[in-house]
Amino acid sequence: MNTRSRYTRRVGFIANHFVSGRAFFSGAVFILLAVLWPTVRRSRFVKIAVAVVSICGVIFVALSATPLPIGLYGIWCVVVTTWLVASNLRPVRRGWIRPALRILVILLTLVAIACELPHYRMPRLPIGNESRFYLIGDSISAGIGDKKVVCWPQLVEKQHPIQIVDLSRPGATIESSLPRAAQIDADHNLVLLEIGGNDVIGETPPAEFEKSLDALLRTVCHTGRIVVMLEIPLPPFGNSYGLVQRRLARRFGVILIPRRFFADILTGNQTTVDDLHLSQQGQERMADMLWKLLKPTFTGQRG
């Protein structure tokens, strides 16, 4: 492996760690390590080390753009900051303050981890015997016009006995997809949404993003229909888009695919042609990932 290839892999690993949300768990572990560090006879060096580890933890959590409730983030940040300041002050008469802050930091960190873990696992779709599904997507699904690259919807159709009604378009946003969403057959039972990335890249205001996504889900979500949506890999401080996706998914009963699966493909080795659009290898990985999720709905069995 040459030097450039190693560098590319390292950059890809770092990017993946943050856009996939894994940095949230790393940061939470750093915070726990710092607060659980033995308190007996702390030297100046140890105090500095604890401060550095805890600050790194806070930075990792912040940059991970994990869409937890703003209130939880606010309380967590205030308590961690207060503990960090108090742990570097001279002992006070009331010796219970520091232990109480440590316990609060530990509890809040564990609560934050518990809140995020359900959004980290791949969901399980109901078992069924569907024969086709509708797809609303952007250039990740539609490609960018390179005839040498076979996009993942075509790969799935070739490899498995199902039909995909592909309504994806290059450059599509949530709002521009609304007319196509209205074309979905009313009695069809499965819709896959791979949309929203261009809204995030184009810095659509979160309020407009929410309005458009709400309109899209109102159009495609019907009683008895399964709607699956890919979470968008988020840039640092892009929490608001993830909060909107999760909030509306809960409201409409949409199944979310955790962003780490999509991020793993986008940041994989040789899976993109320009750090954004999928190469043939990336399309193949996308097809494999989505088929593992969708298989039970079409084959009537797990595995």
In this prediction, residue 233 carries a pLDDT of 92
Q: Which residue has the higher pLDDT, 22 or 276?
A: 22
pTM for this model (two decimals): 0.89
Q: Which residue has the higher pLDDT, 295 or 189?
A: 295
Q: How far is CA 50 from CA 23, 53, 55, in A?
A: 19, 5, 9
Q: Which of 91-100, 120-129, 236-245 has the lowest mean pLDDT?
A: 91-100
Q: Please enumerate in sequence order all residues whose Cβ is within 8 A of that of 191, keeping only pairs 6 or more positions apart, or say none.
A: 133, 134, 135, 136, 184, 220, 225, 226, 227, 228
Torsion of CA 102, 105, 109, 114, to 10 degrees: 90
> Is residue 263 a contact partner of residue 233, using CB atoms and an 8 Å limit?
yes
**At 68, which amino acid appears?**
L
> Is residue 267 a contact partner of residue 232, using CB atoms and an 8 Å limit?
no
In this prediction, residue 7 carries a pLDDT of 38
What is the overall mean pLDDT for the chain?
A: 88
- What count of other Cβ atoms lies within 10 Å of the Cβ of residue 70? 11
Q: Evaluate if residue 5 carries a pLDDT over 60.
A: no
Alpha-carbon distance 165 to 156, whole Å? 12
In this prediction, residue 139 carries a pLDDT of 94
Q: Which of 55-69, 78-92, 288-302 has the lowest mean pLDDT?
A: 78-92
Q: Evaluate if residue 291 carries a pLDDT over 80.
A: yes
| Position 260 confidence tier, pLDDT thresholds 50, 70, 90 | very high
Q: Which of 126-135, 247-256, 257-266 has the lowest mean pLDDT?
A: 126-135
| Position 41 confidence tier, pLDDT thresholds 50, 70, 90 | low
Alpha-carbon distance 222 to 136, whole Å? 16
In this prediction, residue 76 carries a pLDDT of 95
- Give how far the C-alpha of residue 221 lies from the chain's centroid of Cα atoms, to the nearest Å: 22
CATH class (in words) of the domain with range 132-299: alpha beta
In this prediction, residue 111 carries a pLDDT of 97
Q: Evaluate if residue 63 carries a pLDDT over 50.
A: yes
> Is residue 216 a contact partner of residue 251, using CB atoms and an 8 Å limit?
no
Q: Which of 20-29, 130-139, 249-258, 291-300 has the lowest mean pLDDT?
A: 291-300
| Position 185 confidence tier, pLDDT thresholds 50, 70, 90 | confident
Residue ranges covered by each domain of the chain: 3-119, 132-299
Alpha-carbon distance 91 to 94, whole Å? 8
Alpha-carbon distance 260 to 22, whole Å? 8
Q: Please enumerate in sequence order all residues whose Cβ is within 8 A of that of 90, keeping only pairs 6 or more positions apart, or say none.
A: none
